[in-house]
Amino acid sequence: MEAHSGPTVDLMSRWNELTGETSGNEYAARFAALARSGKDVHGEARFCAALVPAGARVLDAGCGTGRVMIRLAELGYDCVGVDRDASMLAVAREQAPGLPWYQVDLTEFEPDLLGSAAGFDLVVAAGNIFPLLAESTEATVVERLAAALRPGGLMVAGFGLDAAHLPVPPSITLSEYDDYCAAAGLALVDRFATWDADPYEGGGYAVSVHRR
Ligand X SMILES: C[S@@+](CC[C@H](N)C(=O)[O-])C[C@H]1O[C@@H](n2cnc3c(N)ncnc32)[C@H](O)[C@@H]1O
Based on the shown chain and the rule CB under 6 A, indicate whether residue 68 belongs to the binding site for ligand X: yes
Angle 22-132-185 from CA coordinates, rounded to 5°:
135
Can you tell me which of 48, 107, 131, 180 binds ligand X, judged by CB under 6 A? Answer: 107
Q: Binding residues for ligand X, how many (CB under 6 A)?
A: 20
Based on the shown chain and the rule CB under 6 A, indicate whether residue 133 belongs to the binding site for ligand X: yes
Judged by DSSP in three states, 188 sits in strand
**Residue 103 vs 187, nearer CB to ligand X:** 103
Based on the shown chain and the rule CB under 6 A, indicate whether residue 128 belongs to the binding site for ligand X: yes
Least Å distance, CB 141 to ligand X, is 7
Q: How far apart are CA 209 and CA 79, in angstroms?
A: 18
DSSP string, 27-39: HHHHHHHHHHTT-
> Which strand ranges, in their side-by-side order, compose the sheet holding 57-61?
101-103, 78-83, 57-61, 120-125, 149-160, 205-211, 187-192
Judged by DSSP in three states, 150 sits in strand
Contact letters (x/-) for ligand X, 150-189, by CB under 6 A?
----------------------------------------
Residues in contact with ligand X by the rule CB under 6 A: 13, 15, 62-64, 67-68, 83-85, 88, 105-107, 126-129, 132-133
